[in-house]
């Protein structure tokens, strides 16, 4: 079994049970698993591969608990629209997507995630246009090398029923459930150190009927996989569920059986005290997506309050249509800053280390994984390094705090299960051939098609 020794690390943030931070640290890894974490001189001096990280800080790999990779090529689109208008205007673009285009979007999105220190991505894919299958997404994710949690999504309410999506992008309940079950059977690997998992992911309470929400939550529990949906994202959603069900979004989802089991929701911006209690009672966590919430004017999730109430909170970037940058490190920075301006906040303020915890252990808890999220013996070696001598970090007094407080756009190196995926700020596998040209060709094609439709 191959061994890897990372040594002479300037500062290591382990995020272990004691939240140890070690100077001149080293990590000894065997077959992708962390065997020892200590000062460099206390570790073995030989290994199959030795990497000297003098002048670098090392942190646990960040975990993105909510994304829509198919949206990656829709950045800076509908820039000033509010939530409903934004969604309605994006669907005409998404109905044009084809499998090779989505694969291109996934490749670009995962590359961006890897370069920002992310080592695990949960992708909520709720559209399957023009023959797209789970295999298309899985194949591309494997080629980039991050751990991949595929949310097999669906919706069964479309324009004809008052929903947001074109009719051809909605599925019948039977088709949605059987395709989702098929993805789980084919791809879900529940083992420790798994690189590929599948979870059940209805789009939202406004685009999926209560019956399908109930049945899909049952499916997730019966197959012992995660369950995930957008919930309590906008004030309009609360108006909708109050009018239709006489309940808040969280209460309604609870009444459909969506919170029990391995469930977590995206956003949770609008949660009452009793909603928070329901989430605590059921163990359902919240994936915080601050950029997206601000981008579409959805509001501000007070995550410090949630955490104090006992709600599990993780972090996600959301899709590129509502967060034009898929950078999990800067997203953690934003989460930290935003938590500081929540109403009633007083010092000591939400700290950089709190934000790091949300982006690592917090997200790992949402994905029900105890094998990633920290650098400690027995966990997988998912981690990244940042060189402290770069201009944006010069003068920093606290290396770990600086990773979150300073605007660090790229990591220098990153490993997933002990395998290096980012080296010297570039993806080891590199981008597939002509990626930039292919993206530009697609943008030209989609612009022309939309122009034709408008005419
Ligand atoms: Zn989303």
Could you read off the pLDDT of 243-257 as tens digits, one per residue? 999 999 999 999 999
Domain that residue 110 falls in: 62-366
Could you read off the pLDDT of 315-343 as tens digits, one per residue? 999 998 889 999 999 999 999 999 999 88
R_g of the chain, CA atoms, integer Å = 21
Residue 319 C-alpha to ligand 1 middle, in angstroms? 6
CA distance 342 to 339: 5
Question: For residue 36, how far is the Cα from the chain centroid?
Answer: 28
Residue 236 C-alpha to ligand 1 middle, in angstroms? 16
Residue 380 in any domain: the answer is: yes
Partners of residue 27 on adjacent β-strands: 6, 37
- The candidate with the shortest Cα–Cα distance to 228, out of 278, 178, 267, is 267
pTM above 0.75, yes or no: yes
Residue 218: count other Cβ atoms within 10 Å of its Cβ: 15
> What string of H, E and C letters represents the secondary structure of 51-93?
EECCCEEEEECEEEEEECHHHCCCCCCCCCCCHHHHHHHHHHH
- Tell me if 274 sits within 8 A of 253, measured CB to CB: no
User: Same domain for 271 and 377?
Assistant: no
Residue 293 C-alpha to ligand 1 middle, in angstroms? 10
User: Same domain for 21 and 115?
Assistant: no
User: Same domain for 352 and 283?
Assistant: yes
What's the confidence (pLDDT) of residue 454? 53
Residue 271 C-alpha to ligand 1 middle, in angstroms? 17
Residue 347 in any domain: the answer is: yes
What's the confidence (pLDDT) of residue 448? 85
What's the confidence (pLDDT) of residue 343? 82
Q: Which helix (H) or strand (E) holds 143?
A: helix 134-144
CA distance 316 to 63: 8
What's the confidence (pLDDT) of residue 357? 98
CA distance 391 to 412: 14
Residue 231 C-alpha to ligand 1 middle, in angstroms? 9
Residue 442 in any domain: the answer is: no
**Burial level of 174, CB count in 10 A (0-12/13-18/19+)?**
exposed
CATH, residue 97:
3.20.20.140
User: Same domain for 278 and 382?
Assistant: no
CA atoms within 13 A on the CB side of 213: 25
Residue 434 in any domain: the answer is: no
What's the confidence (pLDDT) of residue 67? 98
What's the confidence (pLDDT) of residue 452? 67
Collapsing DSSP to helix, strand or coil, 214 comes out as helix
- Tell me if 94 sits within 8 A of 127, measured CB to CB: yes
What's the confidence (pLDDT) of residue 451? 73
The share of the chain scoring above pLDDT 70, in percent, equals 99
User: Same domain for 79 and 52?
Assistant: no
- Tell me if 73 sits within 8 A of 105, measured CB to CB: yes
Residue 203 C-alpha to ligand 1 middle, in angstroms? 8
What's the confidence (pLDDT) of residue 435? 84
User: Same domain for 185 and 291?
Assistant: yes
Residue 55 C-alpha to ligand 1 middle, in angstroms? 37
Q: If you average pLDDT over every residue of the chain, what do you get?
A: 95
Domain count, the chain: 2
User: Same domain for 47 and 69?
Assistant: no
What's the confidence (pLDDT) of residue 455? 40
User: Same domain for 15 and 83?
Assistant: no
CATH, residue 44:
2.30.40.10
User: Same domain for 300 and 416?
Assistant: no
Instruction: Please give the chain's pLDDT, 455 residues, in tens.
Output: 899 999 999 999 999 999 999 999 999 999 999 999 999 999 999 999 999 999 999 999 999 999 999 999 989 888 888 888 888 888 988 999 999 999 999 999 999 999 999 999 999 999 999 999 999 999 999 999 999 999 999 999 999 998 888 999 999 999 999 999 999 999 999 999 999 999 999 999 999 999 999 999 999 999 999 999 999 999 999 999 999 999 999 999 999 999 999 999 999 999 999 999 999 999 999 999 999 999 999 999 999 999 999 999 999 999 988 899 999 999 999 999 999 998 888 899 999 999 999 999 999 999 999 999 999 999 999 999 999 999 999 999 999 999 999 999 899 999 999 999 999 999 998 777 788 888 888 888 888 888 766 54
Residue 29 C-alpha to ligand 1 middle, in angstroms? 35
Alpha-carbon distance values, 220 to 34, 183, 248, 287, 407 (Å): 31, 12, 23, 18, 39
What's the confidence (pLDDT) of residue 92? 87
């Amino acid at each position: 079994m191959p061994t890897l020794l990372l040594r002479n690390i300037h500062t290591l943030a382990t995020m272990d049970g004691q939240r140890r931070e070690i100077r001149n640290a080293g990590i000894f890894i065997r077959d992708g698993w962390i065997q020892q974490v200590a000062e460099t001189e206390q570790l073995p001096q030989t290994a199959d591969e030795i990497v000297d990280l003098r002048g670098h800080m090392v942190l646990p790999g960040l975990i993105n608990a909510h994304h829509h990779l198919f949206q990656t090529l829709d950045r800076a689109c509908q820039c000033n629209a509010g939530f409903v208008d934004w969604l309605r205007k994006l669907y005409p673009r998404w109905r044009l997507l084809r499998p090779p285009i989505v694969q291109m979007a996934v490749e670009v999105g995962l590359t961006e995630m890897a370069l920002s220190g992310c080592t695990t991505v949960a992708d909520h894919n709720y559209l399957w246009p023009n023959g797209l299958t789970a295999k298309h997404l899985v194949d591309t994710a494997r080629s980039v090398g991050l751990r991949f949690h595929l949310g097999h999504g669906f919706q069964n309410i479309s324009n004809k029923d008052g929903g947001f999506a074109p009719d051809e992008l909605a599925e019948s309940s039977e088709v949605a459930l059987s395709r989702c079950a098929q993805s789980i059977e084919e791809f879900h690997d529940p083992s420790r150190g798994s690189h590929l998992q599948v979870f059940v992911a209805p789009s939202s309470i406004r685009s999926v009927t209560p019956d399908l929400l109930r049945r899909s939550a049952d499916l997730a529990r019966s197959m012992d996989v995660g369950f995930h949906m957008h919930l309590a994202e906008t004030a309009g959603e609360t108006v909708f569920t109050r009018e239709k069900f006489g309940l808040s979004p969280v209460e309604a989802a609870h009444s459909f059986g969506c919170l029990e089991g391995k469930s977590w929701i995206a956003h949770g911006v609008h949660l009452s005290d009793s909603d928070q209690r329901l989430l605590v009672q059921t163990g359902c966590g919240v994936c915080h997506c601050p950029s997206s919430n601000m981008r579409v004017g959805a509001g501000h999730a007070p995550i410090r309050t949630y955490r104090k109430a006992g709600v599990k909170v993780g972090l996600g970037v959301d899709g590129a249509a509502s967060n034009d940058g898929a950078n999990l490190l800067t997203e953690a920075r934003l989460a930290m800053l935003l938590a500081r301006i929540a109403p009633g906040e007083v010092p000591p303020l939400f700290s950089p280390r709190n934000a790091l915890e949300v982006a690592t252990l917090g997200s790992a808890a949402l994905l029900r994984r105890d094998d990633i999220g920290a650098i400690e013996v027995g966990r997988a070696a998912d981690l990244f390094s940042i060189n402290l001598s770069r201009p944006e970090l010069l003068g920093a007094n606290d290396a770990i705090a600086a990773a979150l407080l300073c605007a660090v756009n790229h990591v220098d190196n990153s490993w997933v299960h002990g395998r290096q995926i980012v080296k010297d700020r570039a993806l080891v596998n590199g981008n597939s051939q002509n990626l930039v040209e292919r993206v530009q060709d697609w943008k030209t094609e989609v612009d022309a098609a939309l122009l034709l439709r408008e005419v």
